[in-house]
A and B are shown apart, each in its own frame.
Chain A
Amino acid sequence: MEQLLQQVASGLANGAIYALVALALVMIFVSTNHINFAQGEMAMFSAFICWQLIHWGYPFWIALPATMLFSFVIGVLIERIILRPLHTAPLLSVVVVFIGLLAIFHSLAGAIWTHTVKPFPSPFPNFSFAGSGIIGPHQIGMILVAVLILALLFCFFRFTPLGLAMRAAALNPTSARLVGINVDWMLALGWGLAATVGSVAGVLVAPVVYLEPNMMAGILLYGFAGALVGGISSPGGAVAGGFIVGVLENMVAYLGYMLERATGFYLIGNGEKLTVALLMVITVLTLKPSGLFGHVTVKRV
């Protein structure tokens, strides 16, 4: 029983990261209909920035906001400089640019910080408490920080005029211009926010997977799975999808482990986690293409 709880808890912790990555993907998708394949590498690069700041002696809780700010600026610049000229370009050109960005961030990180795996200290104090056996302090910290970021973003989009303007620009750019919103800047801002959310995911997951240029490769896939499962057009759905994928992948591994113990046959385990995530994507896309929480947009004609 305790083992099951452990698996659920660590699933939620991983899910928090997937949720952040999924949200970053969805934020760009809803306003541009593009999937930013470089999201993972951008987050990895941000994690390196944070590591560098800590290495230079800054405390983590200064390094993290600085990293978020840096990532925001990078996100805005990428949109303004690289993607702006491609606003009317065919989809394939944009995809190629995303893959190019992925390669650039990957090799840049390797060139600056080498490909050696680096430990990344957990910013959360290591203490024991009643539930220590079930969930570790870093996992709790991951969940708390992720939930805090999600809550802040929710409030921003729900309650501030700028958040409302960004939503309006994503939903209907033509009408947004007609109420005086500068849609181009809203897109750039969306990119900046997505990069910021991604950077938090990168920094939080670095102590778990260790810091190296490949660290986000698998996580981006899980985040993508979360986004698709929840509904690529629904930010709330993407977050829920991230948590669902995190818990389910652990459940599958746990189930496989129990089966093996009962029957002696290895059927499924940790090695098949990614396969399961991708199977989930295919299943959801086949049965409910808009995702679990996505909605099919109905238009009056």
Chain B
Amino acid sequence: MSNILEVENLKAYYGASQALHGITFSLVKGGITTLLGANGAGKTTTLRAICGMVRAEGFVAIDGEPVTGKATEAVVRLGVGHVPEGRGTFTELSVEENLRVAAYTRRDKAAVARDLEMVFTYFPRLKERMAQQAGTLSGGEQQMLAISRALMLGPRLMLLDEPSFGLAPLIVQEIFRIMRRINEEAKVSMLLVEQNAALALDLADHAYVLETGRVVMSGTSAVVKSDEQIRKSYLGY
């Protein structure tokens, strides 16, 4: 089985300070992998480095195509839907405009229309809010919009940065259920960054644990879940 994402010895820098010290991992096509770790471990930075949003060195390949050093929009055009930290909603645009602009790179109108219908089956609430200014949506709805925006790209790989952040537990469960459906039905591979390790390990098949910019542990979710150290530090029991 081939890998949708290949990361080797990835280093990333914010100005003079180094945030990633050479991390290596991969993501199987169709799989869900999660990156766990405390604040400042480098999870968000990893996603940003993959998308060319921070200065990075090392090797990154999307479906076999090397993307290190490429501009963000060029990486995105390979089918990478990044749902960023803070959701990145175009708050002044309407929900409909947010979804339309997300399909900006696609020329196949019929496929875009199909994907819009798909988005509505996952998130019927967005259909009711089409004309509404996106900034006035609730936090949960904005997260749904952010995921939908990534879906409208027609992605092969989704990078999800803390989709549970700041949301009520019920909404989080709903969103994670839908993420599983998207993974299974739309065959989108996912790289998930989460503070909520229990939730992430339930969804993902593989996990990597980061500490201060290095991978300290990895394996299938089941293995990582049963590790005593992980249980104490991240799962809290």
Cα distance, A165 to B77, chains bound together (Å):
15
Contact of A179 with B93 in the complex, beta carbons under 8 Å: no
Contact of A177 with B97 in the complex, beta carbons under 8 Å: no
For the complex formed, measure the closest distance between the CB of B179 and the CB atoms of chain A, giving whole angstroms.
Answer: 18
Contact of B90 with A175 in the complex, beta carbons under 8 Å: yes
Cα distance, A172 to B146, chains bound together (Å):
14
A-chain residues with CB within 8 Å of residue B139 when the two chains form the complex: 300
Total contacting residues, chain A, CB less than 8 A: 21
Q: Which of A72-96 contact B (CB under 8 A)?
A: none
Contact of A179 with B104 in the complex, beta carbons under 8 Å: yes
Contact of A174 with B88 in the complex, beta carbons under 8 Å: yes
B-chain residues with CB within 8 Å of residue A176 when the two chains form the complex: 101
Contact of A168 with B77 in the complex, beta carbons under 8 Å: no
Cα distance, A183 to B101, chains bound together (Å):
13
Q: Does chain A have a CB within 8 A of B43?
A: no
Cα distance, A176 to B104, chains bound together (Å):
10
Cα distance, A19 to B31, chains bound together (Å):
55
Name B138's closest neighbour in chain A (CB-CB). A300
B-contact bits for A180-192, CB 8 A (1 contact / 0 none):
1111000000000
Q: Contact residue range for chain B?
A: 20 to 34
Cβ-defined partner of B104 (8 Å) among A164, A171, A172, A174: A164
Cβ-defined partner of A177 (8 Å) among B73, B89, B135: B73
Q: Does chain B have a CB within 8 A of A1?
A: no
Known: A168-B90, A174-B84. A180 touches B104 (CB 8 A): yes
A-chain residues with CB within 8 Å of residue B102 when the two chains form the complex: 179
Q: Does chain B have a CB within 8 A of A261?
A: no
Q: Does chain B have a CB within 8 A of A262?
A: no
A-chain residues with CB within 8 Å of residue B105 when the two chains form the complex: 179-181
Cβ-defined partner of A180 (8 Å) among B88, B97, B153: B153
Cβ-defined partner of B72 (8 Å) among A168, A177, A297, A298: A177
Q: Does chain B have a CB within 8 A of A273?
A: no
A-contact bits for B52-96, CB 8 A (1 contact / 0 none):
010000000000000000011100110000101000111111000
Contact of B90 with A172 in the complex, beta carbons under 8 Å: yes
Cα distance, A126 to B210, chains bound together (Å):
77
8 sampled A-B residue pairs with Cβ under 8 A? A161-B101, A164-B93, A164-B101, A172-B91, A178-B82, A179-B104, A180-B77, A180-B153
